[in-house]
Amino acid sequence: MKKIVIVGGGAGGLELATKLGKKLGKKGKAHITLVDKNRTHLWKPLLHELAAGSLDDGIDALSYRAHAKNHGFNFKLAPLADIDRTNKQIKLAKLIDTDGTEILPESKLDYDILVMALGSVSNDFNTKGVSDHCIFLDSPQQAKKFHHLMLNKYLQLGVQETKQVSVAIVGAGATGVELSAELYNSLEQVSSYGFEHINSTDLKVSLVEAGEKILPALPERISSSAHQELLKLGVDVRTQTMVTEATEKGLITKDGELIEADLIVWAAGIKAPNFLKEIAGLETNRINQLVVKQTLQTTLDDNIYALGDCACCALPGGGFVPPRAQSAHQMASLVAKNIIATLKEKPLCDYKYTDYGSLVSLSNYSTVGSLMGNLMKGSMKIEGRLARLVYISLYRMHQVALHGYFRTALITLVERINRVLRPRLKLH
């Protein structure tokens, strides 16, 4: 039986494992294994909510092992270290516990078809001090670390001469903009949980962007609409501000100004993990993404596919498929189709990216965006409740891909019940 190994159980990889598990694994037509370095899955676009405390991963995260059992695939907990293309094996690094002790030694896993779906990490562009003084929102662990530090800052407010909590966010893409708004929402919530002395002037968020406008990938009307909403909330939006260094006290700009901050989040661009750069002699680009053909097979090895943020896929009209959840979702469907076609010895299909638009959630305050991206040239602007509904439906689509319609409806119901039973904010 063919061995199909998927590395990375994120927005794309977990959907692919679920699809192949149902279509091949459960029917005994192939052996499907998902490898991830984490035990649970949380949809990455929710990380800013986890960081702000509006989401509790204890409730919302999905256990890979339980999901694998129900969907016909195996789960292996380990970080990928390397690929041995000659022997068709992947090398898995030691599994290390949070306290540094070794849980499992290095190991190897055979594959006939390998899918790389490892996502991306923040790109600090080698800016001085960033790795020492900034928090990245690359994983639930990092988002939780930010949340923990933020709660500590609230505890210190009014004590030890702490008069204001200041947060600087570098990069005004969707992550930076969404986190800015979410922090003001969580501040409103936190004051009702024994922090009555806290009000909106106790938080200062500086959103720092090197480009001319926030949300550079979105049309002007949408970015200016989001800009106005952020100003209303009290965010100090600084465009055309290049950060040259991060220090213990805050950010230093190209003009030598210090933007003071207790906490700094770096969200100024992405790259694929560094170890992919030279992996197994495969072709990569300058941000370590694996270059793929239109079939999503890597250019130098037909047995290895790449999808999502770690893949560099050219668009026929120029440019590249953007690193988004909707791209990962669409690529997962195509890779599933092509793997099934390979097993049936049928021709493979090409990937066609459909841009359904981009939506940016400004927490409970507003949602802005455009629909039908490349179908209507991003001209269909939506805002408010309708936009919020479409934004939430993106996550629902991911849940439907994992659980089907009936279970997703049940999960939605449980979420509603939890809103009554549980605090609006994670407080620990």
Interface contacts to ligand FAD, rule CB under 6 A: 7-13, 35-38, 44-45, 47-48, 79-80, 117-119, 137, 174-175, 178, 273, 308-310, 323-326, 328
87 vs 285: CA distance, rounded Å? 25
Q: How far is the CB of 325 from ligand FAD (least distance, A)?
A: 3
Are 12 and 307 a contacting pair, CB within 8 Å? yes
Q: How far is the CB of 164 from ligand FAD (least distance, A)?
A: 24
Question: Based on CB atoms, which residue is closest to ligand FAD, 46 or 251?
Answer: 46
Question: Based on CB atoms, which residue is closest to ligand FAD, 47 or 362?
Answer: 47
Question: Based on CB atoms, which residue is closest to ligand FAD, 127 or 175?
Answer: 175
359 vs 343: CA distance, rounded Å? 37
Question: Residues 6 or more apart from 408 whose CB is under 8 A from it?
Answer: 396, 399, 400
CB atoms < 10 A from the CB of 27, how many?
10
Question: Based on CB atoms, which residue is closest to ligand FAD, 79 or 269?
Answer: 79
202 vs 154: CA distance, rounded Å? 9
Sign of the CA dihedral with 124 first, then 127, 131, and 134 last: negative
Q: How far is the CB of 327 from ligand FAD (least distance, A)?
A: 7
Are 295 and 351 a contacting pair, CB within 8 Å? yes
Are 58 and 24 a contacting pair, CB within 8 Å? no
Q: How far is the CB of 60 from ligand FAD (least distance, A)?
A: 14
Are 195 and 289 a contacting pair, CB within 8 Å? no
Question: Based on CB atoms, which residue is closest to ligand FAD, 113 or 198?
Answer: 113
Q: How far is the CB of 140 from ligand FAD (least distance, A)?
A: 9
Q: How far is the CB of 174 from ligand FAD (least distance, A)?
A: 5
Question: Based on CB atoms, which residue is closest to ligand FAD, 47 or 170?
Answer: 47
Question: Based on CB atoms, which residue is closest to ligand FAD, 252 or 324?
Answer: 324
Helix axes 384-421, 13-20, angle to 10 degrees: 70
Q: Which residue is nearest to ligand FAD (CB)?
A: 10
Q: How far is the CB of 93 from ligand FAD (least distance, A)?
A: 8
101 vs 300: CA distance, rounded Å? 38
Q: How far is the CB of 401 from ligand FAD (least distance, A)?
A: 12
Question: Based on CB atoms, which residue is closest to ligand FAD, 55 or 243?
Answer: 55
344 vs 29: CA distance, rounded Å? 11
Question: Residues 6 or more apart from 166 whose CB is under 8 A from it?
Answer: 203, 204, 205, 206, 250, 260, 261, 262, 263
